[in-house]
Amino acid sequence: MPPTTILWFRNDLRLADHPALEAALQPRGPIVPVFVAPFASADRWAPGAASNWWLHHSLKRLDQALRGRGSRLVLRSGDPSRELVALARETGASHVLCSRRSEPGERAAEDAVREALALNGVALESFQSGLLFEPGTIATAEGQPYRVFTPFWRACLAKGLPAAGADEPETIPCPKSWPGSLALDDLELMPRTRWDAGLHEAWEPGRQGAMQALEAFLGGPLDTYAEERNRPDLPGTSRLSPHLHFGEIGVREVVAACSERDAQVFLSEIGWREFAHHLLWHFPNTPEVPLRHEFARFPWRDDDAAFQAWRKGQTGFPFVDAAMRELWSTGWMHNRARMVVASFLVKDLLIPWQRGAEWFWDTLVDADLANNTLGWQWTAGCGADAAPYFRVFNPTTQGEKFDPSGAYVRRWVPELAPMPDTWIHRPHEAPEEVLRGAAVQLGQTYPLPIVDHPQARRDALDAYEDIRRSTGAG
Ligand code: FAD
């Protein structure tokens, strides 16, 4: 009888295109699938509340999928090294197989598990399943990591995008007796107060939800993606981000599904995900520290009232407020809206990008350390291939351009719904009779703008000019 193998699930919560599972199936010995939930910890980047909500449901679906194949998911909680050593002892396993991750804490966890298992005569083998290419293998001619997206993605495409792995197996061999497992509720991933109704309405976590999202995207929005992907008022993007983050669908599967289609623009967004993960792998301190070091000296403000207004969607800028309320309600925000609210926080309010990144971290169902770090540093102008600092988004004209009829604002800021299209993105400039007709009382039913955008823009540019002069940065 071939020896028992432990299959350690991480953010690869699927059974198809799963190299570690494929390897575990080779010797046809018993397989013990396990997920080890981290203790709620003081770690700044421990999964946030919305992520935990998603994880709870995704683990449930994975367990159901495993049970349909004669197996099940063992749940443990705590330090993965300790838990996996204990599980290897209980099951007599000789091997643990898992997928690699690019986050610094997860890489350290894998190293610690490998060391602890080795001391107990158990081998850990890890596989790349979440990315198209192994970080470190895409390099410039000088062997350096790319800091600019276009040549990075060109180099990826030149290598040829990899094919997806095997389909879901029909059966998974199980051990004679199952080791003990916590119940899913013991992991305490679900919120204690019921703020999650909007998440339930908006999402179906798990493999089935991922495949449905992919089908829906291929059936329509992919064809118009290049034109409509910037429109938060339209269903123009795939909404695959949480499914990809938790690995309910593999990125290679997504690429394969588009192979017969004209999907260049969409694939380049998949390329940004790849770029973000490679950058985090090369520059593991970037969740805290700007990649362009001169920005560490930026004169940020400590304005808690403004930060709270931003978080609650009460800034007086309808496009920003719609986006922040969409985030709070559904755990997701459209990419264009993410760029605009991030720019507003960093450049109009001069609040450090790390505070915004933390709020996103707690509220996004797709919170992903690599993508979130890249998105915030890009917007702040301090990251790889970043938007130039002097490009400050105007929150009003961005709204008018990308939500031309105001449908997005009407959906998320209902107190402005009766405003005519012409004024919906600029209620503070609307004539008195228009406001009266729409029953909008500025400062009462809807806030006045918390900043004067043109002045805020000048202040941001002055601050940038100061650090540029004092550090000689470009
Ligand atoms: P689609 O347009 O359908 O794109 C397909 C996939 O490509 C996405 O699911 C995602 O995995 C990837 N992708 C698309 N755009 C980007 C991008 N700009 N950077 C990296 N990957 C991308 N994305 C996250 O997954 N998690 C985050 O925590 C996150 N935080 C962000 C913070 C800021 C400030 C900004 C500006 C962007 C952030 N993004 C993040 C990137 C992007 O906004 C989301 O990936 C996208 O909106 C998800 O929607 P979608 O699946 O419909 O995307």
Please state, in angstroms and rounded to a whole number, the distance separating the CA atoms of residues 63 and 84.
Answer: 19
Q: Which atom of ligand 1 is nearest to the CA of 221?
A: 3
Distance 208 CA to ligand 1 centre (A): 21
Per-residue CA distances from 46 to 40, 49, 341, 410 (Å)? 7, 10, 23, 35
Predicted local distance difference test score (pLDDT) of residue 469: 79
Residue that has been written with the tokens 């560490």 in this structure: 296
Residue that has been written with the tokens 């009382």 in this structure: 441
Phi-psi label, residue 170: left if phi above 0, alpha if psi -120 to 50, beta otherwise: alpha
> Model confidence over 332-349: pLDDT tens digits?
999 999 999 999 999 999
Per-residue CA distances from 75 to 68, 80, 87, 185 (Å)? 17, 11, 11, 10
Please state, in angstroms and rounded to a whole number, the distance separating the CA atoms of residues 164 and 320.
Answer: 39
> Model confidence over 284-333: pLDDT tens digits?
999 999 888 888 788 899 999 999 999 999 999 999 999 999 999 999 99
Higher-pLDDT residue of 388 and 330 is: 330
Instruction: List % helix, strand, coil for the chain (3-state, nearest 5).
Output: 50, 5, 45
> Model confidence over 205-239: pLDDT tens digits?
999 999 999 999 999 999 999 999 999 999 999 99
Confirm if 458 and 392 have CB atoms less than 8 A apart. no
Please state, in angstroms and rounded to a whole number, the distance separating the CA atoms of residues 87 and 81.
Answer: 10
Residues 270-289: b if buried by 16+ CB within 10 A, e if exposed: bbbbbbbbbbbbbbbebbee
Q: Closest Cα partner for 21 from 77, 55, 71?
A: 71
Higher-pLDDT residue of 329 and 193 is: 329
96 strand-pairing partners: 6, 124
Q: Closest Cα partner for 125 from 26, 1, 268, 237?
A: 26
Predicted local distance difference test score (pLDDT) of residue 41: 65
Which tokens go with 377? 């540093």
**Average pLDDT, integer, range 111-134:** 98
Predicted local distance difference test score (pLDDT) of residue 386: 72
Which tokens go with 421? 């299209």
Which tokens go with 178? 């199952």
Q: Which of 51, 332, 371 to mutate to test the pocket of ligand 1 (most atoms within 8 A of CB)?
A: 371
Cα 134 from chain centroid? 19
In this structure, of 9-23, 212-226, 280-294, 401-415, the range with the lowest mean pLDDT score is 280-294
> Model confidence over 160-192: pLDDT tens digits?
999 999 999 999 999 999 999 999 999 999 998
Predicted local distance difference test score (pLDDT) of residue 425: 98
Predicted local distance difference test score (pLDDT) of residue 384: 79
Active site residues: 269, 272, 300, 335, 353, 376
Report which protein residue has its CA nearest ligand 1's atom 42: 335
The angle formed by the CA atoms of residues 130, 134 and 136, to the nearest 5 degrees, is 140
**Average pLDDT, integer, range 41-48:** 82
Average pLDDT value over all residues in the chain: 95
Cα 30 from chain centroid? 34
Predicted local distance difference test score (pLDDT) of residue 278: 98
Report which protein residue has its CA nearest ligand 1's atom 44: 335
pTM for this entry: 0.97
Report which protein residue has its CA nearest ligand 1's atom 8: 241
Segments in 138-293 forming alpha helices (H): 149-159, 197-202, 207-218, 221-228, 241-245, 251-257, 264-282
Please state, in angstroms and rounded to a whole number, the distance separating the CA atoms of residues 131 and 396.
Answer: 37
Predicted local distance difference test score (pLDDT) of residue 474: 53
In this structure, of 54-68, 371-385, 418-432, the range with the lowest mean pLDDT score is 371-385
Distance 241 CA to ligand 1 centre (A): 6
Confidence of residue 1 (pLDDT cuts 50, 70, 90): confident
Distance 374 CA to ligand 1 centre (A): 10
Which tokens go with 10? 């991480």
Report which protein residue has its CA nearest ligand 1's atom 31: 372
DSSP string, 63-126: HHHHHTTT---EEEES-HHHHHHHHHHHHT-SEEEEE---SHHHHHHHHHHHHHHHHTT-EEEE
**Average pLDDT, integer, range 190-212:** 95
Please state, in angstroms and rounded to a whole number, the distance separating the CA atoms of residues 200 and 214.
Answer: 19
At how many degrees (to 10) do helices 221-228 and 264-282 cross?
70
Q: Are strands 74-77 and 95-99 parallel, antiparallel or unpaired?
A: unpaired
Predicted local distance difference test score (pLDDT) of residue 264: 96
> Model confidence over 251-277: pLDDT tens digits?
999 999 999 999 999 999 999 999 999
Higher-pLDDT residue of 380 and 175 is: 175
Secondary structure element (H or E) that encloses residue 423, with its range: helix 421-424
Q: Which atom of ligand 1 is nearest to the CA of 342?
A: 34
Higher-pLDDT residue of 199 and 385 is: 199
Q: Which atom of ligand 1 is nearest to the CA of 369?
A: 28
Q: Closest Cα partner for 217 from 269, 285, 155, 294?
A: 269
> Model confidence over 93-115: pLDDT tens digits?
999 999 999 999 999 999 999 99
In this structure, of 36-45, 71-80, 273-282, 300-309, the range with the lowest mean pLDDT score is 36-45
